[in-house]
Structure formats: structure tokens, C-alpha cells
Amino acid sequence: MKSLKKVDSAIYSLIKKEEGRQKDVLEMIPSENYASLAVMEALGSVLTNKYSEGYAKKRYYQGNAVIDEVEILAEERAKKLFGVAHVNVQPYSGSPANTAVYFALLEPFKDKIMGLSLAYGGHLTHGSPVSFSGKYFPVVSYTLDKNGMLDYDEIERLALKEKPKIIVCGFTAYPRIIDFKRFGKIADKIGAYLLADISHITGLVVSGAHPSPVPYVHIIMTTTHKTLRGPRGAMLMVTEKGLKKDPELGNKIDKAVFPGLQGGPHDNQTAAIAVALREAQGKLFKEYGKQIIKNAKALASALIKHNFNLVSGGTDNHLILIDLTNKKVNGAIVALALEVAGIVVNKNAVPNDKMPPFYPSGIRLGTPAITTRGMKEKEMLKIAKWMNEAISEVSGESLPEDKEVRKEFWKNFKKKVWANKKLSSIAKEVKTLCSKFRTP
Ligand code: DSN
């Protein structure tokens, strides 16, 4: 980054600082990962200079012969890797991609969306009242059973009663295998479109570590920067089943992305997606997907031994959701303590959470990024031990209920936690471990 250093030393220094942070800590937010240098080179290339509104061979701007090739390559790679009939690689990210699906298929204020409630692990765009999806469309939300699992009979009952036009399956905080076949049967019974948002698990799907939704759903949306390890971005895919239900489905989705919702695609992002798709074709990536799950399972078992209460009792995928109620400490407090100890997770609501989303009762963590660095089961045992030690430092700390008192408490508490000696000594051990595992 020689030029950047010369032109803008402030941004250069901040990037270097962030690079150092990413190297020295355990990045365990389950939606994060380390993109390869090849992906980042494509992302930082001259393709950022081009405008190419439209689609390959049908552009509104001249000079797009190369961009057409890039976009076609990305589409073809995705078609082959996922086994789908139609691909759109232009959505800027996951939320605009889901928006495009709704705009393509639903009439606002009339047609219903059915998705998992945000409070139970669904995404904002799956019908949350604070997002456009819940503001512009009627919504029916399903939840989880008392064990934190999807209750397919209940989902079917709700679908038959409410007759949504689209059902969304695929989640942001669900640690178990999704039965796409069962979702497919439910959607078919009421003639609904079935959208699988596999953003979190794409890398697991293409590596064969999680069953694929392709035979059972009509549309697939995935972001490209999570387990797929590409740049930030998204893809929309239509399956053979989708085209059978609606031969115009691909066209409808393309039109909703452009010109419906977006202008020019980010061609540098498209190229970087193509690179990630190429990287995901190989044997190494298959091993990567399987190791993510082995690591998550090893970490889950070790945490259970330390008396952590895991929602659903464990994990089948890359993520773990911990209900901290038995540890008598709030998720926000724990997420901060872990950050000070060099373990970066996010605070997260747990099923039936009595606390507000900013101070939820749980944390969410995952293994995609640390698996990219080459960590294995042995390291997971160390991480569980450090987590237990770090959380013991803050357990019993209670959040004041009064909002104003809480603000004041939080300010002082932050200072106290950053000065905690035990937490900084864990951070040092974490850093030593991290120094043995390369980041791209
Ligand atoms: N924000 C993402 C996550 O962290 O799961 C979902 O888009």
C-alpha cells in the first residue's frame, strides 16, 4: 500500500492498525472471515472505475466487453458450484438481495412474508417490523420450540393458516441443520415461493458439510463474505424447481435488482466474487467446510463441560449461541470482557429473551475465521478455557435496570474491564496462539 501511505497516511495507519487487530485476536463473529489476498486484489483493482448498468451483452454504457466476461465467468462458476439454473451476481449485499426478491414477487401491503422472527435467529430482512420487510409487507413470523429447535409441524400449521406468498428459510443465529426438504413440502402445499437465505452456511453447502437447499427451494440468496470467504456482496440464484414453478422467475429477479433497486453493479466486487467461487471449487475448500464444523462441535462440547448453556444443546454448523442466564451475566458485558481478552464475539438475543436487543442475554460465536487460520480441535479446547476464565471475571456483574443509571454504569464499567489484569493476561496468551496461525 505504498501509494496509500504517501497520499493518506491517516487512513493508511488505521488500516494497518485494523490489520494488526485482525491478526492478534480470535475473530469469532460467525458472519466474519478472512478473504484471501487474491480476492482482495480483485476487489482493489481497476474494475472499480467502470460503469456497467444492465447485464452482460445488454449494457447502457459503452466499453463493457471485459466486464461482460467477468460477470459471465462469475455467473457460470456459481451455476456449476451450486447446481442452479440462473444466477445474478449484482446485489450489493444481502439486504438489497432479499429486497429484490420481495420486489420481484410480492405486492407491497398485500402479499405476506413468512420468516423466522429476528428475536429467534431470523434476519432483519425476514420480516422484522423495524426493517423495510416488515414495514412494506404483511408478515407472519415463526419462532423456535422450547429446546431452541425449528418446529416444522408448527411452521406448517402457521403456513396453512396464514398462506404467505413467500416463505423464507435460512437464518443468522440458528446452530442446527436446516431441513430444506421439509420446508419445500410446506411451501408446495400452499403454492408459496420458497427463498433460502443461506448467507451463513454457503461455504458449508458448497463443501458438502451441510445439505444443499437446491432440490427443494425456488430461490437462493447468499452473501459472499461469510463462510464463502469472498468480498462483501451477494448472489441471487434460481433453481430448476424455481423455473418450473415460474419460468419468468430469473427475469423477474434480474429486473428487480436492476433497474428496480440498483444502478451500476460494483464490477470489482463481481470479479472478487468470481475469485472466491474459484477458490471454493477445490478439495481444500471441502476440507475447510468440514473443519469449520469439527471445530464448532469441539468448542461446543468444551463449553458445555464448563457449564455453558448452549441454545439447542450444541451445534451442527459453524455457530454457537450461548444463553448466559445461568452465569448470571448479560451478553453485552460478556462480549466486552471477551473482547478485552482478545476473543471477539457478538452479543445476541436468545429464544424468549426478556432483555432488549442492545443488552441481550446471550452471545453468538463461530469458527469460520479461526478455521481459515488453520486452527483445529486442540485450539478449541484452549479457547473454551479462556472464555470460561474471562467470563468468570465478570460473572455476577449486574446491569442497572434504569436506562440513565445504566448509561453511567456502562461508562465506568468499560474502563474497569479494559483495566482488568486477568483479561489482559488472557489477551497476551491469545496473541501468542494467534502468532502461530497466519491470516491472509
Ligand atoms: N449481519 C449478519 C450477521 O452477523 O449474521 C447477517 O447479515
Q: List the CATH number of the domain containing 150.
A: 3.40.640.10
Whether 31 lines ligand 1, by a CB cut-off of 6 Å, is yes
Give the pLDDT of residue 346. 98
By CB atoms closer than 10 A (0-12, 13-18, 19+), residue 385 is: middle
Instruction: Give the C-alpha distances (Å, rounded to integers) separating 401 from 110, 410, 437.
Output: 40, 12, 42
Q: Are residues 111 and 145 in the same domain?
A: yes
Angstrom distance (rounded) from CA 387 to CA 342: 10
Whether 90 lines ligand 1, by a CB cut-off of 6 Å, is no
Task: Give the residue numbers marked as catalytic.
Answer: 51, 53, 197, 223, 226, 232
Angstrom distance (rounded) from CA 348 to CA 173: 8
Give the pLDDT of residue 194. 98
Q: Are residues 264 and 363 in the same domain?
A: no
32 CA closest ligand 1 atom index: 4
Q: Are residues 227 and 291 in the same domain?
A: no
Question: Which domain range does residue 275 map to?
Answer: 42-280
How many residues appear in the chain?
440
Q: Tell me how many domains the chain contains.
A: 2
Give the pLDDT of residue 409. 92
Give the pLDDT of residue 2. 96
Q: Are residues 269 and 322 in the same domain?
A: no
Whether residue 65 lies inside any domain: the answer is yes
Whether residue 395 lies inside any domain: the answer is yes
Whether 94 lines ligand 1, by a CB cut-off of 6 Å, is yes
Ligand 1: centre distance to CA 418 (Å): 26
Give the pLDDT of residue 254. 98
Boundary residue ending a domain (252, 280, 308): 280
| C-alpha cell at position 84 | 442452479
Q: Are residues 295 and 153 in the same domain?
A: no
Whether 95 lines ligand 1, by a CB cut-off of 6 Å, is no
Q: Are residues 318 and 271 in the same domain?
A: no
Whether residue 11 lies inside any domain: the answer is no
Instruction: Tell me which amino acid residue 241 is.
Output: K
Give the pLDDT of residue 317. 98
Q: Are residues 255 and 373 in the same domain?
A: no
Residue pLDDT tens, the chain, 440 long? 999 999 999 999 999 999 999 999 999 999 999 999 999 999 999 999 999 999 999 999 999 999 999 999 999 999 999 999 999 999 999 999 999 999 999 999 999 999 999 999 999 999 999 999 999 999 999 999 999 999 999 999 999 999 999 999 999 999 999 999 999 999 999 999 999 999 999 999 999 999 999 999 999 999 999 999 999 999 999 999 999 999 999 999 999 999 999 999 999 999 999 999 999 999 999 999 999 999 999 999 999 999 999 999 999 999 999 999 999 999 999 999 999 999 999 999 999 999 999 999 999 999 999 999 999 999 999 999 999 999 999 999 988 988 889 889 999 999 999 999 999 999 999 999 999 999 99
172 CA closest ligand 1 atom index: 5
Angstrom distance (rounded) from CA 309 to CA 331: 13
Whether 33 lines ligand 1, by a CB cut-off of 6 Å, is no
Whether 268 lines ligand 1, by a CB cut-off of 6 Å, is no
The residue contributing the CA closest to ligand 1 atom 1 is: 31
Give the pLDDT of residue 403. 85
Q: Of the candidates 126, 114, 127, which has an alpha carbon nearest to the alpha carbon of residue 157?
A: 114
Ligand 1: centre distance to CA 357 (Å): 14
Q: Residue 128 CB: number of other CB atoms within 10 A?
A: 19
Residues of 325-345 as b/e, b for ≥16 C-beta within 10 angstroms? bebebbbbbbbbbbbbbbbbb
Instruction: Give the C-alpha distances (Å, rounded to integers) separating 11 from 25, 240, 312, 423.
Output: 21, 46, 43, 29
Give the pLDDT of residue 437. 98
| C-alpha cell at position 423 | 483479561
| C-alpha cell at position 372 | 481459515
Whether residue 27 lies inside any domain: the answer is no
The residue contributing the CA closest to ligand 1 atom 5 is: 172
Ligand 1: centre distance to CA 31 (Å): 6
Boundary residue ending a domain (251, 280, 309): 280
The residue contributing the CA closest to ligand 1 atom 4 is: 31
| Lookup result for grid cell 496509500 | 4
